[in-house]
Every structure is written in structure tokens, then in C-alpha cells.
Structure 1
Amino acid sequence: MFVYKIDEEISLKLVELKDAERVFELTDNSREYLREWLPWLDMTTSVEDTKEFIKSCLKSYAENKSITTFILFKGEIVGTASYNKIDWANKIAYIGYWLGKDYQGNGIMVRVARALTDYAFNELELNKVDISAAVENKRSRSIPERLGFVNEGCIRQAEWLYDHYVDHIVYGMLAEDWKSNNSPY
């Protein structure tokens, strides 16, 4: 079981089927909030849908294609964070995340994204981490910006959200830049 302790309040743990009810409940309670920026809410209408999501995440993990974790805040699942895709050939991880509406404002996601970036460079020995967010999704965009990621450009009509396309800003961080800016020495 993959568990990664970030600090005294936050840990990441590999997705597990036993957590499906809690994750569905969190999703359902945050449905309208999350629906503004995430395209899969209308396809997640039952605990069974969440179980299928977890199974697909575990399959991708076993195939070394991605790592999806549940975010634990003070021992409670409050969201997900993942390397949605790991491109081993080019040594790039693509980070994605969401947090339940009731857990915003605790600095959780900045700490999670920092830890995932650190892990990608120091443990997985990747060269680059990308984070993409809709242009108008200011909260999500603030995460890579606060961590010093470089705005690498806008991808037009990058994602279909229910009834319209949204453009995405792609942020990138290189291992050499991360290590020089985040060195403990």
C-alpha cells in the first residue's frame, strides 16, 4: 500500500475499493462545486461508478501509467491527487487534483502539489511536471503559480465541460529548476 506522509495533517494514500463510499459521498456533497471545472460529475452517480473509477486507477497503477491517491487531511479523505499520466519515455508527470468544497482554504492542495512535484523529481527521477487548469479556474491555477511553475501557454478548447469548451493554461516545472529553487541548503 502506497502511503506518503506530507506533514502532520496531510498524507496521500493509493486509492482503495474500501474507500468508495466515502469518496462518492465527498463527490456527491461537492457535486455542484466540482461540476464547474470537472467533466466527469454527471457520469458519477453511484458508489458503483466510484468503484469502477478506483478499479481503473489501480489498473493504471499496476501498469505503471499513473498514480492516483486519496488526500487524507487529519485522517479523513478530502479529495484526490494524482499523476494522471506518467510519460516515462519523456520523463514527464501530469498532475491533477480536486478537493471537497468544505476543505478549501486550509492550504491543503498547495502542500499536496508541492509533495507530488518533489516526489516526481526525487523519487521517480522525472525531468518535468505539468499541471493544466482552465483559464478561468483561478483557484486551481493559483497552485502551480504559488509553487513557481512556469506558464508555458494556453491550449485553446482543451476540454469539453458539459456544454462548452474551455481553454487551459499549461504550467511546467523542470527538475533542475525545482531543485535549485527548493533546495533545503
Structure 2
Amino acid sequence: MKLIRFTLIGMLIALAGCQTLDPNSPEALKRKEYDRLLLNTTMANCKLIVQLNQKRVSQNKEPTRDNNCARILKNHALGGVHPASFVPDIAVNGIPIPIGGLIKLAIVADRNQREKKAWEASLPAWVSSGGENSENVYRMLLAQGFKPEELEGLKGSAGFSDAVRAVGPFVQFSEANPDVVRRANAG
């Protein structure tokens, strides 16, 4: 009886589709392409961020916060956990205090505020003339916390041009395959 039950459960699992995704399926290939383009774009942007942070440090200013660029450039990979994920929630006299959750919420609120300011910022002529990809890279740098005066030095630089070239294919792929982007962002 147990053998029959075990066999039936095994057959149900097989019929339910609990197989892994074929690595050569169109969905898997699109996801690989999305991951490759995202990594290329992120690495090009990170090279700019590292370059700008080096300028900041040489001027005795504090580098921008909340960026994992050194790790991304070193490992050639996007995966990683934000340090705020390691902050525990605590309890005082049996009353839970979500310190970790509050810190994560503050980080997200700060990032959202910087992104909103970057979106509302006026763009210099040299950025506007570069097209939508140029505007995306410039706004990303503003959202990272760089000031427009610091970004003036990027005018005509090879690093900025590389980042703009890397963003183009990623934006095109994302617009053509919104379902892949949605699934990738969902986890």
C-alpha cells in the first residue's frame, strides 16, 4: 500500500511540472541575455562611480553611500547582500523593536528621495543632446548622490560614453521583453 502511495505521489509530482527549466528554452535564453546586459550596464556605471568617488576622496570629501561598485567590479557579478540585511531586530523587556527593519526602511526612503530629486533635476545641454541613454546615466549618477558640478567633468569622457553605450542595449531589451524584466525583478 505504501509503495502504491509513494508511486502515485511521484507520478503527481512529475505531472505537476516540477522539472527544472530547460537551459536552452527561449525563456532561459532571454533571462541569460537580460542578466548579461544588466551586468554590462552595471559595470560601466560602476566604473564611473568609482572614478567620481576617487575624485571626491582626493578632494577630502566623503564618497557616495550605498554603492557596491567595488564588489561588483572585483567579482564581475551582481549578487550580494546589502549590509543592512545583517542588522537584527531586537526585543527589550519582551517588546520587539524592529531596528533592522527600520534601518532598511530608512535606506529605501533615502534612495527614493535621491531618485525623485534626480528625476526632477534639470539636465545640462551636453547631456540632453546625447539622447535618452545619456539622460539615464546622468540621472543615475545624480541618484547616487553626486552633484551636477562633479558631473561636469564627465563631459566628453570615455567612461561616460562607455556607460551610455552599455545602457542602450539594456533599455532596448527591457522595453522589448517586459515579462522577462518583471520576472527577474520578482526574484
Fold match by TM threshold 0.5? no
Greater length-normalized contact order (CA 8 Å, ≥ 6 residues apart)? 2
TM-score of the superposition, structure 2-length normalised?
Answer: 0.22
Higher share of residues assigned strand: 1
- Rg (Cα) greater in structure: 2
TM-score by length of 1: 0.22
Q: Which of the two has greater helix per residue?
A: 2
